Amino acid sequence: MKRVRITVKRMACYRDLMSEYENPIEHACDMKLGQSFIVEDCTKPNGMCDSAWESMLPFVKELATGGGNFYDGWMKNPYSAMISCNDGFRPVSFYIEVVE
């Protein structure tokens, strides 16, 4: 299997939606901008958010097994993907790429 790097590229926070719909949460996300993880054998890296991992796992598996070219040319680098976690209040965007 190929090694895959996951890098935090952007973090958003929609305070208007949080105040309108979300119950207060003291500590919702541990990700840091620029933080990076190396995935070996499709195992969730230490420190990776469970929810984010579930969102990106199908892409990580595909890249780790030699696949890519998602959606017929979506990414400039066919062996990569840009995936966001499914938190609608504070989404984090991750760049996922094969490490040679």
Taking only the tens place, the pLDDT of each residue in 12-60 is: 999 999 999 999 887 888 899 999 999 999 999 999 999 999 999 999 9
| Separation between Cα atoms, residue 83 and residue 44, nearest integer Å | 15
| Confidence check: pLDDT of 61 > 90 | yes
Classify burial at 85, counting beta carbons within 10 Å of its beta carbon; exposed 0-12, middle 13-18, buried 19 or more: buried
Top pLDDT among 9 and 27 is at 9
Longest dimension (CA), the chain: 45
Please name every residue paired with 84 in a beta bridge, in sequence order, or none if there are none.
93
pTM: 0.92
Residue 73: per-residue pLDDT: 93
